[in-house]
Amino acid sequence: MVEKTINMALLFYRKEVAELLLDSISLMRNRKIPNSKSLNPMKSFFLSCIIVSCTFSLSGQEVVTKDYSAYILTPPAPKAPRINGATVYGVRPGNPVIYRIPCTGERPISFAIKDLPEGLRMDREHGIISGSIKNPGSYSFLIEAENSAGSDKREMNFKVGDKIALTPPMGWNSWYIHYDRISDQLMREAADQMIKSGMADYGYQYVNIDDCWMVKHKTKDPEIGGKTREKDGTLITNLRFPDMKGMTDYIHEKGLKAGIYISPGPSTCAGYEGSYRHEEQDALTFADWGFDFLKYDWCSYDKKAGGKTREDLKKPYKKMWASLVGLDRDIVLNLCQYGMGNVWEWGAEVGNSWRTTGDLGLEERKGLPGFYSIGLRNAEHWPYAGPGAWNDPDYILIGWVGDARKMAEGTPTDLTPYEQYSYMSMWSLMAAPLIFSGDMAKLDPFTLNVLCNHEVIEVSQDPLGKQAKIVRKTDSDFVLVKIMIDGSLVVGLFNFMDSEAPVSVSWEELGISGSHIVRDLWRQKELSTLENLYETMVPPHGVQLVRIWLKK
């Protein structure tokens, strides 16, 4: 079969392509990955694609190999401390604070805070702030971090009031990799990996269970079936989750937060117990267990809604929202109802974020990858996003992810490196929740380079909370622009074409004039000072993400 592949390549493709096929097969047979820096970029990319897309049975074992190291743009973090992530944090009066200072640099790092608000304490070794603040108000303080290589400091602001999720939530969700295989053990391992991989050092903090932790209806499997609630109505977990409080304590000890999932209907989308007629009781249970985030998925509520008016669509979320805001614990509410009834127009009244479209994992690729079509629909709703209220176009599906239609085990993403940069750039520009849903146990350097660029994350976590808007869209490209709290603009120039192409944006389109400094955010370097126009070559389905400041 291998020889036939080569013959076909020789017949229908250029000699160079056949040689690359030979190279890739040889590499896979010998279990070796090429040193991509020794290859020219086009050859390296094509060779990587061949290796990713070809799976051979070698000595009875299936092997899939990839190496995207030639496409890593994010510079490595310095050895000295660098404090990352949002500069603002929202909490309700008297409710628990769990905040792990996102900070890169060689460990050990010693943390100190000047003017720490009353009621809070800090673990100096791990940089975890906990406690509570009784009185409403805005509390600013200085965080300092120091190690043997240097130091860093940054001002932080805790806003104590009725709003939480003042910047888009960042974290991980189990669905697109574990589906109905999720367990307590996998959740704990995901929390471990969030620390070990360094994701937590960039601001990722939520470790969220999706569906399938409850008892399933209509199953004979003793591990997940059985009685769904206690006599008093309290939810029962399936046997894969023997100790919810112990699990959230484990997550919280690391300075991270824990998320959970349920449906307002009688059952979840996968057929497990829902919250119907137990909403207030379940909210109390989630708080008692120690959860900080709730994804509330429409699913079977169709059978109970009674109609599709705005009030019908709002009703279950309004009920759960009222149950959550009265608790002595902050729980971010994520509405998952797929954009019905123009949810972006009213979602902020009953939650903190809302899905604007169907599942991205089910979106078919039509020339362009599905995140483009989902993202462009989400981009239309920019006027409705802001602190505490975010448009949600679904999760970041890169690295190893499972086929959503089959609820399958994970395989490497079929997105090219260029497409992955576009994906992360678009989500950051749109102030979308940055929730990764790939395999935390198989994070590779390229995936981490996409997820963990502090200048790109700064775009997402900007405290002004503005979502980017489209300033131009053609058949070949489009441009997204986001205003930042310092008055600078972040511009994403996206190429729809299947080949490299020039994309430009004029100062007139941006509403600016005069000399401006242009900085490449992925590469973290200044490009030039320009007067009227920025133009660049953009890779196929790729992006150039720049930040533009007025030259002073």
Q: How far is CA 42 from CA 6, 468, 502, 539, in A?
A: 20, 32, 18, 11
Count H helices and E strands in the chain, helices first. Answer: 14, 29
185 and 322 housed in the same domain: yes
Task: Give residue for tokens 């399933």.
Answer: 216
Q: Express each pLDDT in 216-239 by its tens digit.
A: 999 999 999 999 999 999 999 999
Would residue 374 count as lying in a domain?
A: yes
Would residue 282 count as lying in a domain?
A: yes
* Residue length of the chain: 552
Would residue 75 count as lying in a domain?
A: no
CATH number at 486 reads: 2.60.40.1180
266 and 120 housed in the same domain: no
- Give the C-alpha separation, 379 to 373, whole Å: 10
Would residue 223 count as lying in a domain?
A: yes
- Give the C-alpha separation, 432 to 393, whole Å: 7
Q: Which domain holds residue 107?
A: 82-160
Would residue 193 count as lying in a domain?
A: yes
Residues 473, 503 contacting (CB under 8 angstroms): no
Ordered strands of the 434-436 beta sheet: 390-392, 353-355, 332-336, 293-297, 257-262, 206-208, 170-173, 434-436
* Number of neighbouring beta carbons within 10 Å of residue 1: 6
Picking from 375, 402, 429, the residue at the C-terminal end of a domain is: 402
502 and 538 housed in the same domain: yes
The pTM of this model reads 0.89
- Give the C-alpha separation, 429 to 447, whole Å: 19
Of residues 334, 437, 436, 341, the one with CA closest to residue 391: 334
Of residues 203, 240, 213, 172, the one with CA closest to residue 442: 172
Task: Give residue for tokens 């939520």.
Answer: 206
* Tally of domains within the chain: 4
pLDDT at 487: 98
SS3 486: coil
Q: Per the omega criterion (within 30 degrees of 0), is the bond before 108 cis?
A: yes
DSSP 187-232: HHHHHHHHHHTSGGGGT--EEE--S-SBPBSS---TTT-S--B-TT
- Token duo for residue 392: 């949600």
pLDDT at 145: 99
263 and 388 housed in the same domain: yes
CA angle 531, 537, 541 (to 5 degrees): 130
Q: How far is CA 399 from CA 176, 402, 479, in A?
A: 11, 10, 26
Q: How far is CA 432 from CA 243, 369, 510, in A?
A: 32, 18, 22
- Listed as ranges, residues in the chain with pLDDT below 70 are 1-65
User: What are the φ and ψ backbone dihedral angles of 123, each rounded to 5 degrees?
Assistant: -85, 105
- Give the C-alpha separation, 395 to 168, whole Å: 12
DSSP 55-115: -EEETTEEE-----GGG--SPPPPSS-EE-S-SEEEE-TTSPEEEE--EESSSP-EEEEES
pLDDT at 43: 45
256 and 150 housed in the same domain: no
pLDDT at 64: 54
269 and 328 housed in the same domain: yes
371 and 478 housed in the same domain: no
CATH number at 114 reads: 2.60.40.10
Sign of CA dihedral 155, 421, 34, 401: positive
CATH number at 303 reads: 3.20.20.70
Q: Express each pLDDT in 100-132 by its tens digit.
A: 999 999 999 999 999 999 999 999 999 999 999
229 and 369 housed in the same domain: yes
Would residue 424 count as lying in a domain?
A: no
pLDDT at 552: 83
Would residue 103 count as lying in a domain?
A: yes
Picking from 38, 67, 96, the residue at the C-terminal end of a domain is: 67
pLDDT at 144: 99
Would residue 337 count as lying in a domain?
A: yes
338 and 275 housed in the same domain: yes
336 and 390 housed in the same domain: yes
Picking from 160, 181, 206, the residue at the C-terminal end of a domain is: 160
pLDDT at 383: 98
Q: Which residues are catalytic?
A: 297, 359
39 and 102 housed in the same domain: no
138 and 238 housed in the same domain: no
